[in-house]
Amino acid sequence: MAELFENRVKRMVKAGKKTAGAWSQLCSPASTEILCRAGFDWILIDMEHSPGDMQTLLAMLQAMGGYGAVPIVRAPWNDMVWIKRILDAGAYGVMIPSVNTREQAMAAVQACKYPPVGVRGIAGSPRAAGFGRDTVSYLKRANDEILVILQVETPQAVENMDEIGKVPGVDVLFIGPMDLSTSMGHLGDPGHPEVQAAITKVEAKAKALGIRLGTISGGWEQAKSLYDRGYQLITLLSDVILLSRSSADSMAKFREAFPQG
């Protein structure tokens, strides 16, 4: 019997529920599985700022099998070929970086959808379709179930929010604070007042449009504040940052206790 393709996180978001995610950036099936076992609603596998390739992605998606976490993949760019391959590998959602105009938003959505709505190429044999065993079910449901997340990372995107947010098929707008701050002339400083004002503007526009918001958090206190402001998809941590900070903290304590000559 073919499995029914259902995206639990997309249903949660549509119902107005808050969801918790984690970045998987180590290109490691093991770390991805560890994150899944923690109970996150979704895992965001990064293909933009990590050295992973399609084989790496496939292994990470396979490591998620048997757990409840929904696999979302950040594409390297707004590229229909990359998006097609990511979806065929079994991603339930795609995050697409640096979408700045209505036209770019339309291209992103169309890359995620089969005709006649979009331009995604059809094949019945990829992993997403159960290697040919779930083809009919998957093809019928994919357009409705795939979660389309567009990143807001530039002043141009902020100014074009009204047009971007009205494109049919856009499920979530995801603010990238580091890229946004840098593109505004404040390199790596998302806390700058001008950047925070731009983020507030995005939040207000999203609320007016009735579109869901997501972003990154630096820890639980910040995440809680963002949830209270209406965000529904927030990454609570990253495997890279978690390992980096924890190892550095442990060694700092060791050096303090036992100074080396």
Q: 165: domain CATH number?
A: 3.20.20.60
Q: Which of 49, 224, 229, 245 is catalytic?
A: 49
On whether residue 195 sits in a domain, the answer given is: yes
What residue numbers bound the domain in which 162 lies?
8-251
- The tens place of each residue's pLDDT in the chain, 261 residues long, gives 457 899 999 999 999 999 999 999 999 999 999 999 999 999 999 999 999 999 999 999 999 998 999 999 999 999 999 999 999 999 999 999 999 999 999 999 999 999 999 999 999 999 999 999 999 999 999 999 999 999 999 999 999 999 999 999 999 999 999 999 999 999 999 999 999 999 999 999 999 999 999 999 999 999 999 999 999 999 999 999 999 999 999 999 999 999 985
pTM of the predicted structure, to 2 decimals: 0.96
Is residue 133 domain-resident? yes
184 φ, ψ to 5°?
Answer: -90, 5
**70 within some domain:** yes
Give CA separation, 109 vs 16, 28, 104, 135, 147, in Å.
Answer: 21, 28, 9, 21, 10
In a domain, 256, yes or no: no
Count of structural domains within the chain? 1
Question: Is residue 75, in this structure, part of any structural domain at all?
Answer: yes
Measured between alpha carbons, how far is 109 from 100 in angstroms, rounded to an integer? 13
Residue 1 within any structural domain of the chain: no
The dihedral over CA atoms of 39, 73, 215, 24, expressed in degrees to the nearest 10, equals: 50
In a domain? residue 154: yes
Q: How far is CA 248 from CA 238, 242, 260, in A?
A: 15, 10, 16
Active-site residue flag, 49 = yes
- Domain membership of residue 202 (yes or no) is yes
